[in-house]
Amino acid sequence: MGVQLAAEEGFKPPSTADFNLPPVFGDNPFTTKPVFLVFFSVILISTFFIVSARKALIVPSKLQFAGESIYGFVRNDLARDVIGHEFMRFVPYLFTLFTFILTNNLFGIIPFLQFPTMSRVSFPYVLAIFTFVIFHYVAIKHKGLMPYLKEIMFMPGVPKPVYILLTPIEVATYFIVRPLTLSLRLFANMFAGHLLLLVFILGGEHLLQGVIGLKLVSPFAFAFGIGLTFFEFMVQCLQAYIFTLLTALYIAGALADEH
């Protein structure tokens, strides 16, 4: 009955189709909104940090302070505390990663942009591939290929037959689960968050067009939508942080000597 009613009223709940945005120019699949958002984020980040660092003063301006706070956060709290004394080499990558993901996530709640780029799974995939290549490269360079593989595959101090059980798990962790969870965690959080906001805002709008009883309920849907927008802001910052933190942890693991 309820389903029938909904079908008659014609409310289409948001679905995955809402993430397949049509190309802006003709049929070119490289001109969709997410692609433009990525380019826009790069311009935005570059401009912000160039402007904030251009006139470096002893007593920083507000803008310089903001830029340096973000940089200081990534360098000290993420890179230095996690990686240790060799951290400076990785600060550029971690910093780029953090600001890039953060900006693209925040696009999800910025009015008129309102689309988190990372809710298209290819973007997190590519970022995870970067991290994957970097931490394996660092480990191979630091330890040598064979010792590194041996360290991954064979736990010391275990009877030999047990390796049949454990080696597949270790290999899968390092080569499949790590990049996959890294990208899917970011993707799923952004995807679900955007969908949630769509449900409440579009639902509220639809209720507004209904009978008077439904109109009265509609503000609650909008209120929830606004509340969830703040919640999303938290999730978006958190996911950018976690992605960068895990990258730093993997690099730290690659540099760590056998315990």
Partner 1 sequence: MSRKNSDNENISNSQNEESALWSIVGYLLSGLIIWGGIGWGLDRWLGTTYLVLAGMLLGAGASIYLVWLRFGRD
Distance CA 68, CA 61 (A): 10
Evaluate whether 201 touches 222 at the Cβ level (below 8 Å). Answer: yes
Evaluate whether 181 touches 239 at the Cβ level (below 8 Å). Answer: no
**Per-residue contact track with partner 1, 115 to 154, x per CB under 8 A?**
----------------------------------------
Q: Does 56 bind partner 1 (CB under 8 A)?
A: no
Query: What's at 137, amino acid-wise?
Result: Y
Q: Does 176 bind partner 1 (CB under 8 A)?
A: yes
Burial class (CB in 10 A: 0-12, 13-18, 19+), 212: exposed
Q: Can you give the C-alpha Rg of the chain in angstroms?
A: 23
Q: Does 252 bind partner 1 (CB under 8 A)?
A: yes
Instruction: Write down the least CB distance from residue 24 to partner 1, Å.
Output: 39
Site for partner 1 in 73-92 (CB under 8 A): 81-82, 84
Q: Does 15 bind partner 1 (CB under 8 A)?
A: no
Instruction: Write down the least CB distance from residue 239 to partner 1, Å.
Output: 14
Distance CA 224, CA 205 (A): 13
Closer to partner 1 at the Cβ: 43 or 169?
A: 169
Q: How many residues bind partner 1 (CB under 8 A)?
A: 23
Query: What's at 185, amino acid-wise?
Result: R
Residue of 24, 88, 155, 192 that binds partner 1 (CB under 8 A) = 155
Beta strands in 21-118 (DSSP E): none
Q: Does 170 bind partner 1 (CB under 8 A)?
A: yes
Burial class (CB in 10 A: 0-12, 13-18, 19+), 118: buried
Instruction: Write down the least CB distance from residue 124 to partner 1, Å.
Output: 17
Evaluate whether 18 touches 197 at the Cβ level (below 8 Å). Answer: no
Q: Does 188 bind partner 1 (CB under 8 A)?
A: no
Q: Does 181 bind partner 1 (CB under 8 A)?
A: yes
Q: By CB under 8 A, name the binding residues for partner 1.
A: 81-82, 84, 155, 157-158, 162, 165-166, 168-170, 172-173, 176-178, 181, 245-246, 249, 252-253
